[in-house]
Structure 1
Amino acid sequence: MSKLKLRGKDLRNIGYPEGPVISIAMNIMEKNFKHLSLEDALEILRAILQSPNQYAHEGPLDKIAEALIPKPKIGGEEIPLNKTGIDFNVFGGEFIESGALQQMYTAAKLPVAVAGALMPDAHAGYGLPIGGVLATENVVIPYGVGVDIGCRMCLSIFDIDPIELSKREPYFKRELNEATLFGAGATFEKESDHEVMERDEWNQLGLLQGLQARAWKQLGSSGSGNHFVEFGTIDISDENVSSEESGFGLKKGRYLGLLSHSGSRALGASIANHYTKIAKEKRKLPGEAANLAWLDLSEQEGAEYWMAMNLAGDYASACHHIIHDKIARQLGTKPLKMVENHHNFAWKETWEGREVIVHRKGATPAGKNMLGIIPGSMTAPGFIVRGKGEPASLSSASHGAGRKMSRTAALNTITHTTLNEMLRHHGVTLIGGGLDEAPIAYKDIYTVMNAQKHLVETVGLFYPKIVKMDGAQPKNWQKKKGEILGE
């Protein structure tokens, strides 16, 4: 078997910047993954380039990731953290890992922090923990939003008997396979069309101009990691949801549902990394808080990020709508109702009578009567919820069940036999997907929902039946080396 041989030209062609990272990447790949094909090696390198923070501190690839992650300039006066952090509420604290709690305590000491909360699905992330909610005054923290800007859920509810899913399973599987693409670098040969691609913002920033062509090719794709598109059965249980006042307007009963989860693809990752680098250069923080560097909305860079963030959020929404429109046309009907929500974003909201910027990194907006969808896992139900506007959580709720097992641990301990038995037990057909996304790698969704019952009320349940995820990952090299994919 021939050994892997990379050239600097290969890395530059896929977007790697000039500098030490090229030689670092070549040496690590040729040493640790020498039996991979050139195509597979470049696929790994593309994934790291798109989301370097997801590979940091996880095996041999961490050196490549660390070389790509923006670092603050040496020199300049360090901004100290407050000795005492703001108070923040923790929901479901008994099953939240210490790493996430510590990250939230650090964020609470930022001099710009005014309020915060931690959701019951929380686990450690980069900067703000996943499941963290942080309000600031007139400043935005790029890594408080996250790399996958605008990552969201989208649910279409159809007036179709769910029994069709089992009676015509090959048909529904085909529709999922044809409606979207999965994978970190996935692009379409034929571009979709959507008004978001005609927005003026693309021409207002050089960064966005350079990202538009790739964004066209990824429009309507779904990414990797925990992203999915799935058919399932919906049970609407709330007796009051049929009223117009409920904001739902559907009768109690069973429906067929289409649920998707993905974000803004390479567009969002590029925006996040670009403006995080700028934020770190402008505001040097202590090491434990370095990834919480902020931009003031009154300065040019802050205004630029805010504009780019909102464009990426709308782009993420457009990706979902393209997928749902494709499938609705094939089904020959329109959805009775759509429910969708961001969970990696920042909003201008009012808190205690003043305007603040509320960052929700892996948290669902749960304002009064606001509808949302909180998924469980590939076998556990998703909860269709209506927010209660609870001030204690800054009108927020969890964005899912939350991981209880890292991807590395899942790949090292869960077997395909175990996963297949769980799928059979719950009557779920999986297309793609990997052991890192096995249901037992996640917290129990019922426990999580019980910890936030005063934040949201449940109006219906979505039970997955045919689940499509990225089938190309994780590969054997990932299981052996314990790498992380997606977040």
Structure 2
Amino acid sequence: MIDGNTLIAWGFKPGKWFKPAIEALNAARAGGMDEQGLFELAQRLAPVETLLRTNALSYGVFLDPQTELERENLAAVTAHMDALMRVPTIVAGAVMPDACPSGSAPGTIPVGGAVACEDAIHPGFHSADICCSMAISVFNRRDDPKAILDAVQAVTHFGPGGRETPLAPPAHLERMRDNSFLRDLAGFAVHHFGTQGDGNHFAYVGHLRSTGSPVLVTHHGSRGLGAQLYKKGMAAAKRHTAIVAPRVPAHNAWLQASSEEGRAYWDALQLVRLWTRDSHFAIHDLAARRLGNRIADRFWNEHNFVFRRDDGLYYHGKGATPSWRGFSPDDDGRTLIPMNMAEPILIAAHRDRRDALGFAPHGAGRNLSRAQHSRQNAGSLAGELAGLAGRGLDIRSFCGIPDHSELPSAYKSAAAVQAQIAAYDLAEVTDHVDPYGSIMAGDWEQDAPWRRKGRG
């Protein structure tokens, strides 16, 4: 019987690859393979370590800092990108105008970062909010915008958890059961379908500047379903990378896209993508039904996902909007780029600037983290809310407690980001959705049970 001592005697270095290799070798031996054949098979099974690059690849930077705070933000972003671009699977990278750090570990892909990878899917590059995306529905009748916002608030749930009364499972639920990554996640798929998230996810009501037609725009991702898939994907990626590239940091781990496990993960991503699209439009359809109105036009786009282009590479956008024709099967040439709740949402056409990897920003981005902004602006919440109301904006928090880190002051200048989109030809703005109001989850954690307990 072949065991670990056998492989060591043959000159192989012990590692996590030993267990599956020993199983394969003993199966081959039982099938009649001779010792020379077994040794050659062991050579094929033994991993070849993939090392970090000594020097980082160059990458495109499409961000012009205008203040000292923005220069500090860009320095933090480039420090992460310099480390990230040493990962051996990456062949190209770019930084969008909305870029900001998304973690403290060196080489964490920033928000507004995009990388192209060869035969590799990195779960850490799309993170837990898989397929965070935008969707718009244009209503046929010019309803009162307050009635539209009231309808949305009545038909969905914002924040953690799922619906009290779940919607019927989406049609593709059966396909999820056939996928090794998704088959035990049906509960999340059912209960979180048709719900909004927390943080920067929102429902926004306004009108098209071009026609005056009322519209509903929603921003959310795949909720608990995507978060659980991300956990499974990261575990699989870490197992693979521990064998082939143990010196690569765990947050940069990857799945070999052409492997059986990589193909299963890719398929899981596509199913979650469809689930997320249908989740958006289920909310829109419920609101339209409550209003007794019809939807005349709609489209959507993801901006936190992995895309495969015709060059065979895997393009990871961490909070970056694809801006090339055919980025998805249902691309119709239009994408949505929000700024903040007080600013118009941009409707954009593709430009496909190749040194930007074909991406555009996914929003305005931040110069400070949520916690930093809330700490530094602790006394200005009431004044900012009053200013928004004074402009006639209907701003709501589903939980009743506003989240200061999601108000306009927490974001970069919308005008500056739009100017950089134009200057770098990242996307072509073709229309605007001018705001009436929006709903966000709000600061649901402020009144969470563990906080109430801590306050005594």
Answering whether residue 371 of structure 2 is matched by residue 394 of structure 1, we say no
Of 426, 430, 433, the match for 2:391: 426
Percent identity at matched positions? 28
Residue 241 of structure 1 is matched in structure 2 by: none
Alignment of structure 1 residues 262-301 onto 2, 5 Å: 262-284=220-242, 289-301=249-261
Amino acid at match of 2:176: E
Residue 209 of structure 2 is matched in structure 1 by: 235
Q: TM-score, normalised by structure 2?
A: 0.78
Answering whether residue 329 of structure 2 is matched by residue 355 of structure 1, we say no
Answering whether residue 163 of structure 2 is matched by residue 182 of structure 1, we say no
Q: Is the 8 A contact 1:264 1:312 kept in 2?
A: yes
Answering whether residue 96 of structure 2 is matched by residue 119 of structure 1, we say yes
Match of 1:355, SS? coil
Alignment of structure 1 residues 103-252 onto 2, 5 Å: 103-126=80-103, 127-161=108-142, 164-165=144-145, 169=146, 171-198=147-174, 200-205=175-180, 207-236=181-210
Match of 1:336, SS? strand
Q: Is the 8 A contact 1:150 1:314 kept in 2?
A: no
RMSD, aligned α-carbons:
2.5
Change (3 A) 1:103 1:158: same
Amino acid at match of 1:387: H
Q: Which runs of 5+ in 2 are unaligned?
A: 1-46, 326-331
Output the CA distance in 2 between the equivalents of 1:442 and 1:477: 26
Deviations 1:284-311 (A, max 9, x none): 4688843111111122221121111111
Amino acid at match of 1:133: A
Of 280, 283, 295, the match for 1:323: 283
Structure 1 residue 397: Cα displacement: 0.3
Match of 1:128, SS? coil
Output the CA distance in 1 between the equivalents of 2:293 and 2:142: 13
Output the CA distance in 1 between the equivalents of 2:229 and 2:237: 12
Q: Which runs of 5+ in 1 are unaligned?
A: 1-75, 237-252, 482-487
Change (3 A) 1:336 1:377: same
Q: TM-score, normalised by structure 1?
A: 0.73
Amino acid at match of 1:401: A
Residue 254 of structure 1 is matched in structure 2 by: 212
Q: Is the 8 A contact 1:279 1:295 kept in 2?
A: yes
Change (3 A) 1:463 1:278: same
Structure 1 residue 477: Cα displacement: 7.5
Output the CA distance in 1 between the equivalents of 2:433 and 2:194: 23
Q: What number of residue pairs does the alignment pair up?
A: 380
Structure 1 residue 153: Cα displacement: 0.1
Structure 1 residue 267: Cα displacement: 0.9
Structure 1 residue 217: Cα displacement: 1.0
Amino acid at match of 2:184: G
Structure 1 residue 172: Cα displacement: 3.0
Answering whether residue 327 of structure 2 is matched by residue 367 of structure 1, we say no
Structure 1 residue 77: Cα displacement: 9.1
Q: Point out the structure with max Rg over C-alpha.
A: 2
Q: Is the 8 A contact 1:107 1:289 kept in 2?
A: no
Amino acid at match of 1:422: G
Residue 266 of structure 2 is matched in structure 1 by: 306
Match of 1:451, SS? helix
Q: Is the 8 A contact 2:141 2:293 kept in 1?
A: no
Q: Is the 8 A contact 1:228 1:261 kept in 2?
A: yes
Amino acid at match of 1:216: V
Amino acid at match of 1:310: Q
Q: Is the 8 A contact 1:138 1:356 kept in 2?
A: yes
Output the CA distance in 2 between the equivalents of 1:102 and 1:90: 12
Q: Is the 8 A contact 2:130 2:305 kept in 1?
A: yes
Q: Is the 8 A contact 1:201 1:307 kept in 2?
A: no
